[in-house]
Amino acid sequence: MLDNSGVKWVKLIHRYGRANFAALGELLLVSCRIVNVKKKWKKGQKLKCVLVHMTRPFFRTCVGIRCYENAVVVLKDNMDIKATRVKGVIFREFRLTKFRKLYTLGDYVL
């Protein structure tokens, strides 16, 4: 997890995309596995998230970019971002998606 929403580990339940593999910016339905005790989430609760990092490389014009781990950011019911701070690199492909707020919350833009 890259955000400060209180969820530390999730398990994928469903992908809302059409391709065989998930892509950056795709909506996911996940289940909470490890959560922070002081937050409102509970273990086993279902959440909607957006995929921010993935270990499978994605390609720009001539360069393949890959992360070391998969990471998601938790969304509210109205598809707005729950977190107030996002740690780590955010890719510039989010500038063109409906999650523009995520593009501005990140530490670095790559």
Render each residue's pLDDT in the chain as its tens digit; 110 residues. 678 888 999 999 999 988 888 888 899 999 999 998 887 889 999 999 999 988 988 888 888 888 889 999 999 989 888 888 888 888 888 888 888 888 888 888 88
Looking at residue 41, its pLDDT comes to 86
Angle, alpha carbons 73-79-81 (nearest 5°): 40
Looking at residue 45, its pLDDT comes to 93
Element (DSSP H or E) covering residue 102: helix 100-105
- At 71 the three-state DSSP class reads strand
Is the separation of the CB atoms in 16 and 26 below 8 Å?
Answer: yes
Q: Would you tell me how many other CB atoms lie within 10 Å of the CB of residue 64?
A: 9
Q: Catalogue all structural domains in the chain, each as residue range(s) with its CATH number.
A: 7-109 (2.40.150.20)
* pTM given for the model: 0.86
